[in-house]
Amino acid sequence: MKDLHTNTPLVTRTQGTGNDLVFLHGWGMNSGAFTSFIPYLTNSFRVTTIDLPGFGENAQHVPSPYSAESLAQMIAPYIPPKSIVVGWSLGGLVAQRLALLGGSKGLALKGLVTIASTPRFIAGPCWPGIAGDLLAMFESQLESNYNRTLERFLAIQAMGSDTARQDIKAIRGHISEYPEPDQHALKQGLRILSTEDLRQDIGRITVPTLRLYGRLDSLVPTSGIDRICELHPQADTVVLPHAAHAPFISHPQQSADILFSFASSVYQQKAS
């Protein structure tokens, strides 16, 4: 049975019982991306999904300015106390911002998990990442055809995975059950991916952190992982050798086992 909290400005959905995990999706998506993954966790955890402002069931909530920080500030009041926040891709940037907000917004996070995310997505000197012209192309295509742009983005995300075709079909089917995103949020979301840079900040994240990657990810190249580890040495790092940008879709059981192990350890540490 799902709880749909309609008594708050932002819509959240909660399933399961136990300690809290909060999931934030990636660009162009909504919480439907996690539909097939959540059942792997709900026997052990209470799982809350929050559509990023401007997306899915929160498409009508578009902060101004639209930035990773403003998204984090808008989401913060709806995160249950003592949660582990799990952010995928763009959601990982927002999750890192939430971890950096810490007590300034009354947050009491237990931990942070980023999936196929990074403190900086765009490539630069000595920093592997997404080519700037690729994001610029997506932004220009948005003007004419959101659905086609999303299809191309999904294809790049799944590239390299042995189950690429099935992965794309699974994500597409679930996110189509939610309202379409706000056009301004789509464009500004790409701007966040192009401009957000938390490299000098992540060393200040104090909560236990897990960074989960797919070795075949073309958007978050594994060649940059060592640099991220240098900037955030406190974080645990796991690389799934046969996964791409959506390991929880292509390798749900393995991803769930890794998440379960990390979360169980965090809650035991805090309880002792």
Catalytic choice (83, 89, 161, 250): 89
Active-site annotation holds for 261 = no
| Residue 243 φ then ψ, to 5° | -100, 160
Task: From 66, 76, 68, select the one nearest 12 (Cα to Cα).
Answer: 76
Catalytic choice (232, 245, 251, 255): 245
- Helix 90-101 × helix 183-195 angle, to 10°: 70
Active-site annotation holds for 182 = no
Neighbouring C-alpha atoms within 13 Å toward the C-beta of 81: 2
* Cis status, amide bond into 53, omega within 30 of 0: no
Residue 103 to residue 47: CA distance in whole angstroms = 22
Catalytic choice (70, 174, 217, 251): 217
- Helix 132-142 × helix 183-195 angle, to 10°: 170
Residue 125 to residue 19: CA distance in whole angstroms = 41
End-to-end alpha-carbon separation of the chain, Å? 32
| Residue 173 φ then ψ, to 5° | -60, -40
Active-site annotation holds for 217 = yes
Q: What residues are annotated to the active site?
A: 89, 217, 245
